[in-house]
Structure 1
Amino acid sequence: MSAANTTATYGSVAKTLHWATALLILTLVPLGFIAVAWPYDTSDSLATKALLFSIHKTLGVGVFFLALARIAWALSQPRPVPLHPQRRLETTLAEGVHWALYVALVAVPLTGWVHHAATTGFAPIWWPLGQTLPFVPQSTALAEATASLHRAFVFLLLATLALHVAGALKHHLVDRDGTLARMWPGRRAPVPAAPGRRHAPAPAAAAFGIYALVGAVALLTAPGAEPRSVAATAIAAEGGATLEGAARWRVESGSLGFTVRSLGNPVTGRFAEWSAQIAFDEEADADGRHGAVEVLILVESMSLGSVTAQARGPEFFAVETHPTARFGAEIVAAEGGGYEARGTLDLVGASVPVSLPFTLAIDGDTARAAGTVTVDRRAFGMGQSYSDETTVGFAVEIAFELEARREDGAPGAGPRS
């Protein structure tokens, strides 16, 4: 059998690429649904879920490169002559379905790969290419967008695949022609000699148009982050303590995040919505206090890459029963320089003493601060069924940075991201 295509049949290269792709798709699609549905209520279950996702992602990257090779080969080869050239509509639809499959074989794994690169940790890809991609930032918004596209394209792939299989069965069982035999290994369906056909642009354009439309709809209907005004209202409803201090500071920008190890890999999360009331003076009072701070966090605004849903659940942050967290502390000078915020972190119903060291630089009425502290999740009763660090580490590093401006009297508070 010839490696190249002819006007009568497909060559061995095209057949190998076709059936290898089919085998991978028939493996990947059910594996993906199983991985999504797999429970993660215990340490062993989470490890199995991560294993399933790693296999799914790794094979998906393989499909991406295989699809590129298949498309390049198809474009370089003559196309077998239609067995029923008089059926113009049927022939055009068949070519459109083929192009839709080509687009899907690139779009589905690519959106999944970008989603993986835009988030952190959980379920690594087992390719020697690293876990990131050039020009793909680690971004919650990008990860959510590509996840929506990936889901939409998967269902579009399934619909297109169903049409492709139905067409092949129709040719084999109804028309009883040699269409299926052209692609079957070791079979050849001779047809009268005819000039090779070029790929028509209209079916390809239609396939790209369909995916563009479905992608746009997926992005427009995807559940987005809670509007900042709604989250700010939820925070404001909780109120806040009046802080003693001569100078009040309004936080103008900043970030609040945390890092935990999952299956040995660091996974970084962030809180999009939080407010802070700060009172601070460079001169300490008689008790050695430089001021005080109270931070209110909207826990529901937390994101943690691929395991966000799990982290928001009752085993960890329990956002339904504990929608907010608080950190209230006095600011004192730290040994060796800098400052410490010594107080209590109220999270998921537990109150734990925390001393947060931080650096501070004041330039006129502008202050910049940054600090980190490590806490033990077990102190808050989080992840009790994960009794060792094989799947979820005990240590959680909390980090913040912010820029604040001195106010004239009024306390500063507002959501920050």
Structure 2
Amino acid sequence: MPAANTTRAYGSVHRFLHWTIAVLILAAIGLGLYAESFRAGGAATLARMVEVFSIHKTVGITVLFLALARILWVLVQGHPRPLHPECRLETFVASAVHWALYGGMVLMPLAGWLLHTAAPGAGFADILWPFGQRLPGVPQDTELSERFTAFHVNGWWLLAVLILLHVGGALKHTVIDRDATLARMAGNAAKLPEPPRDPRPNRWAPPLVALALWGGLAVWAATAERPQDAAPQEIAGQSAAPAATAAQPGSTWTVQSGTLGLSVTQAGAPVEGQFGTWTAAITYDEATGTGEVVAEVNIASLTLGAVSGMATGPDFLNASAFPTARFEGAITRAPEGGTAHQATGTLTVAGQSQPAALPFDLTIEGDQATATGTLTLDRRDFGVGANYADESMVSFPVAVAVDLTAARS
């Protein structure tokens, strides 16, 4: 069999790439679904989930490079002529599905690699190869990683539809039309007849349709509103500050914007996320440098990459049993003075209360204040992840980062 494509059939190179990529894509989809099934399994399955996701990513990267090779081969060699050029709509749809599949072969694993690269820290589950984990020039940014995740997670539905259309078309040609379509990819090319010339070939419209399909998904993933964008600091069903702080001396401050981040080391790799819904009721007297703060956090609003569901599940923060975490404390200036402050009080997480102190920098300009600080906790103090007795899978320290802007009420 010749290596090159001909007007009658695909050559050996294209056939090898086609069937290898097909098997690997189906394997990647199966591995991804298999890894997702471990999310509710708790401590006994986390290590297995990391392992399966690593294999899934490695298979995806293999598909990416093979797909690029296949597309280059097609651009040089071309496809065989259509068997039925007179069936213009069917030929057009088949060609558009082909090009959309080419796009999916590249864009789906590329999006996976991009979300892996953009994830703060080393990403979740390593690619099993020695060539590095990250694509150059892509910043580590939680929101960017979430955008790539949205494309990757939802893109597989589009890819699944395209695969079904492609397989369905092949079966139609084999069972109903009984023509040589499937034989061009799997049969003896020497025995196939020469297809007729298409007097009006439509070369550009099918790739444009494929571009529109994947481009539309990319635009949606880039612009879709995230839950934390819709309600960045309010817990559903609650209004503003608890009344207990309203009577405290000093000004009352209302949070205008901010983030409440969380970082933990998992399987040796830093994983970062944030809580989407929370409230903070604050009073502060600039003259004395003292005040009060009461903060409440919706535990179920945590996004933590691929392990969000596990982090809020019964083995860890247990959002169903303890939906809210609460910090209540006093604000004072730190001994070193300047912008340095601290909030000292009681933190309640997963039903366990412990003393906690949050060091932070406070800057006030007119009626606007900004505060940034990081509170480092030991998860064992709150009974979080009790089934993880060592740090081989989940570290003991957990960092909670506060960054907010508030206005004087």
Farther off after superposition, 9-18 or 327-336:
327-336
CA contact (8 A) 1:358 1:371 kept: yes
Q: Secondary structure at the match of 2:389?
A: coil
- Report how far residue 248 of structure 1 moved: 3.6
| Distance (whole Å) between structure 2 residues aligned to residue 354 and residue 117 of structure 1 | 34
Residues 38 and 187 of structure 1: is their aligned pair in 2 closer, same or farther, counting only changes over 3 Å?
farther
Structure 2 Cα separation of the partners of residues 10 and 119 of structure 1? 40
SS in 1 for 2:273: strand
Q: Give the structure 1 partner of residue 404 of structure 2.
A: 402
1:14-25 map, 5 Å? 14-25=14-25
Equivalence for 1:111: 111
1:278 aligns with 2:282: yes
Q: Which residue of 2 aligns with 1:257?
A: 261
Aligned-residue Cα RMSD (Å) equals 3.4
Q: Shift of residue 328 of structure 1?
A: 1.3
Match of 2:141 among 138, 143, 156: 138
SS at match of 2:182: helix
Aligned residue in 2 for 1:200: 203
CA 1:292–1:148: 2 relative to 1, 3 Å: closer
Shift of 1:49: 0.6
The verdict on how the C-alpha distance between 1:291 and 1:85 changes in structure 2, with shifts beyond 3 A counting, is: closer
1:385 partner SS:
coil
Contact 1:43 1:391 in 2 (8 A): no
Q: Distance in 2 between matches of 1:132 and 1:7?
A: 38
> How many matched pairs?
402
Unaligned 5+ residue runs, structure 2? none
Q: What amino acid is the match of 1:134?
A: G
Tell me, in whole angstroms, the C-alpha distance in 2 between the residues paired with 1:155 and 1:229. Answer: 29
Residue deviations 1:266-316, cap 9 Å, x none? Answer: 1112223333233334555xxxx8332222223333221221122222222
Task: Pick from 355, 363, 368 the counterpart of residue 353 of structure 1.
Answer: 355
Q: 1:83 to 1:357 in 2, by over 3 A?
A: closer
The residue type paired with residue 362 of structure 2 is L
Contact kept? 1:7, 1:195, Cα under 8 Å: no
C-alpha separation in 1, matches of 2:175 and 2:370: 73
Match of 2:238, SS? helix
Partner Cα separation in structure 2 for residue 260 and residue 293 of structure 1: 25
Q: Is the 8 A contact 1:7 1:196 kept in 2?
A: no
Q: Contact conserved, 1:235 with 1:297, CA < 8 A, in 2?
A: no
Counterpart-to-counterpart distance in 2, 1:106 and 1:59? 13
Shift in Å at residue 52 of structure 1?
Answer: 0.9
Pair 77,333 (structure 1): closer, same or farther in 2 beyond 3 Å? same
Residue 23 (structure 1) shift: 1.9
Cα 1:222–1:37 shift into 2, 3 Å? farther
Deviation by residue 1:314-347 (Cα, 9 ceiling, x = unmatched): 2222223323222111233445553322110112
Counting aligned pairs with the same residue, the percent is: 41
For 2:203, give the aligned amino acid.
A
Name 2:379's counterpart in structure 1.
377
* CA 139–211 in structure 1, closer or farther in 2 if over 3 Å, else same: same
Give the corresponding residue for 2:60: 60
**Matches of 1:363 and 1:152 in 2, distance apart?**
44
Q: What are the Cα deviations for residues 150-201 of structure 1, in whole angstroms up to 9, with x where unaligned?
A: 3443233223223323333444455554433332387544433876996622
Question: What secondary structure is seen at the aligned counterpart in 2 of 1:55?
Answer: helix
- Number of the residue aligned with 1:415: none
Partner of 1:319: 319
The equivalences for 1:19-58 within 5 A come to 19-58=19-58
> Cα 1:354–1:43, aligned 2, differ >3 Å: closer, same or farther?
same
Structure 1 residue ranges without an equivalent (≥5): 413-417
Partner of 1:241: 244
TM-score by length of 2: 0.84
Whole-Å Cα distance in 2 between the matches of residues 371 and 135 of structure 1? 26
1:391 is aligned with what amino acid?
M
Equivalence for 1:269:
273
Which residue matches 2:231? 228
The alpha carbon displacement at 1:351 in A equals 0.9
Which structure would you say has the larger RCO, counting Cα contacts within 8 Å and 6 or more residues apart? Answer: 1
Distance in 2 (alpha carbons) for counterparts of 1:70 and 1:389: 44
Per mean C-alpha deviation after superposition, the further-off stretch among 156-165 and 349-358 is 156-165
Q: Alpha carbons of 1:80 and 1:269: their partners in 2 closer, same or farther (altered >3 Å)?
A: closer
Aligned to 2:343, the other structure's residue is in SS state: strand
TM-score by length of 1: 0.82
The answer as to whether partners of 1:325 and 1:346 remain within 8 angstroms in 2 is: yes
State the alpha-carbon separation in 1 of the partners of residues 187 and 173 from structure 2.
Answer: 17
- C-alpha separation between the residues in 1 aligned to 2:345 and 2:275? 20
